[in-house]
Amino acid sequence: MNKFDITLVGAGLSGPLLASYLSKRGYKVDLYERRSDMRKAPQGAGRSINLALSARGIKALRDIGIFEKIQKNLIPMKGRMLHDKNSNTHLQLYGQNKDEVIYSVSRSFLNISLLDHVERQKDIQLSFNHELTDADFENKKINFGDKAISFNRLIGSDGFTSQLRNLMLKKEDLKFRKKPLGHGYKELTIPPSLNGKYKMDPNALHIWPRGNFMLIALPNMDKSFTCTLFAPMKGVGSFEKIKSSDDILFFFETEFPDTIQLIPSLVDEFKNNPVGKLASIYCEKWNYKDIALIMGDAAHAIVPFFGQGMNASFQDCTVIDSLIDKNSGDLGAMFNDFGTNHVENGHAIANMALENYIEMRDSVNNLDYKKHREVELLLERRFPNRFIPRYSMVSFHEIPYAEVYRRGEIQLDLISKFVSGEISEVKLNEEIIKNLSLFV
């Protein structure tokens, strides 16, 4: 019998966080990671260099006691800085209060901080170079290649390609669905200026929205920015069409003229950096009996356009922690509860992230969107406990995503009717009071 209460597979962003929550409760945790220790050996190209951290993620980092340490390395971003084709910029604030900001954080810094934290906990055993290959669920054994170990409860935080999910699918139809976006991404760098300063405003998330594709840039602590080009894999304006040095320069000069000065190694980076593919993962159930559970990207990988994949995965850890109490410490019951009842939240954020791609790359530019946004902000001031713009509910609150989605649909419908003249302002106010219950 394994002496560990819980065995976790995957020490990316969410695995060490969950291990920390569990050890805080006094559980003994065995955490395995396929890669070598990122603190000792530099890793190859990862899944984005920096990330947007917001309320749900911050809450979880606070709970395990490392937010204060992380905080020093966060760069607040107060809104979207839109760049048009004439190199003009315009800031759209994310919220109305000055603390309604999201934060840029380095993925490797965050991962390393979480691993360091885990290693300080005496009840967590951390093992690198262990790739889960097989599982015998009924006999509670898993394999890392030739090495077999037993477990009591098994949780997969092994990310987008989750092997634990693959193994669970052999035992039960979890209604797994992978929805490829058909668009990919490539990272590029805006280095600091010659006198060591940021070349653009660091307190914004920069976007060059261009309809079917877009470029974004997030600030880093070393005064550089990491840019990401999101574009279709095939067809007009796609990665497939931009190959030669001339293609690259022509594309950027035409679409993002202000970046030519900003990205000195544009051609080299474009040619050498990989194109990452994007997809959403849906499963109708995240547990196999009371034996195994998946969470984070393993359960609900989403496209990155709401900056929520990690935040959602961190919130999973908070939810699991609270469900242990709700189920009076019965971990098997918690597996069933989380694996069934939290699924709708994973689906909701997956869908909102897809919708936000269209908003970021296209709608932000159109007049309807701007009018809609003005009304949203006005209603939030008028009904602070009933009406919160969807972006704010996702990024600055911890409201379950499915509830955010539900309220967001009602809000969208009402504002669309008001903006098109279908309903009056009096009617709009009445409908908000009638349909959007108070947040308590």
Which one of residues 15, 209, 339, 389 is an interface residue with ligand FAD (CB under 6 A)?
15
Which residue stretch of 70-78, 113-121, 195-203, 290-298 sits at the interface with ligand FAD (rule: CB under 6 A)?
290-298
Per CB under 6 A, the list member of 5, 158, 376, 380 interacting with ligand FAD is: 158
CA dist 312 and 279 (Å) reads: 16
Is the distance from CB of 411 to CB of 390 less than 8 angstroms? yes
Q: What is the DSSP letter of 102?
A: E
- Pairing type for strands 177-190 and 153-156 reads unpaired
What residues are paired with 124 via a beta bridge? Answer: 29
Q: Strand runs (DSSP E) across 33-171, as ranges? A: 50-53, 75-77, 79-83, 89-93, 102-106, 124-127, 134-136, 141-144, 147-150, 153-156
- Binding-site member from 5, 30, 297, 337 for ligand FAD (CB under 6 A): 297
Starting at the edge strand found earlier in the chain, the sheet holding 292-294 runs 124-127, 29-32, 6-9, 153-156, 292-294, 287-288
Q: Is 79 in the site for ligand FAD (CB under 6 A)?
A: no
Angle at which helices 343-361 and 309-326 cross, to 10°: 160
The Cα 240–Cα 98 span in angstroms is: 42
Interaction between residue 259 and ligand FAD (CB under 6 A):
no
Residue placing its CB nearer to ligand FAD in the complex, 182 or 384: 182
Nearer to ligand FAD, 154 or 323 (CB): 154
432 near ligand FAD, judged by CB under 6 A: no
Nearer to ligand FAD, 242 or 310 (CB): 310
- Residue from 14, 113, 280, 345 binding ligand FAD (CB under 6 A): 14
Q: What is the closest distance, in whole angstroms, from the C-beta atom of residue 11 to ligand FAD in the complex?
A: 6
Q: Is 132 in the site for ligand FAD (CB under 6 A)?
A: yes
297/337 with CB nearer ligand FAD: 297
Of the pair 52, 70, the CB lying nearest ligand FAD is at 52
The residue among 2 and 416 lying less far from ligand FAD, judged by its C-beta, is 2
The answer to the question of residue 13 lying near ligand FAD (CB under 6 A) is: yes
CA–CA separation, 369 and 420 (whole Å): 12
Give the residue, chosen from 19, 29, 31, 51, that forms a contact with ligand FAD under the rule CB under 6 A.
51
Segment near ligand FAD (CB under 6 A), from 13-21, 176-184, 265-273, 282-290? 13-21
Alpha-carbon gap, residue 102 to 57, rounded angstroms: 10
| Dihedral sign, Cα of residue 213, residue 217, residue 218, residue 221 | positive
Closest CA to 391 of 399, 234, 383: 399
- For ligand FAD, the binding residue among 159, 219, 339, 408 (CB under 6 A) is 159
- In the complex with ligand FAD, the residue whose CB is nearer, 255 or 297, is 297
Minimum CB–partner distance for residue 332 and ligand FAD (Å): 22
Distance in angstroms (rounded) separating the CA atoms of residues 340 and 321: 16
- Tokens 């000065």 -> residue: 261
Stretch that binds ligand FAD, among 8-16, 78-86, 363-371, 379-387 (CB under 6 A): 8-16
Residues 46 and 187: beta-carbon distance below 8 Å: no
- Which residue number, 349 or 436, has a Cβ lying nearer to ligand FAD? 349
Q: Using CB under 6 A, pick the residue from 48, 96, 152, 429 that binds ligand FAD.
A: 48
Give the end-to-end CA distance of the chain in Å, rounded to a whole number. 46
Residue ranges in contact with ligand FAD by CB under 6 A = 9-15, 32-35, 47-48, 51-52, 131-132, 157-160, 163, 185, 276, 296-298, 304, 307-311, 313
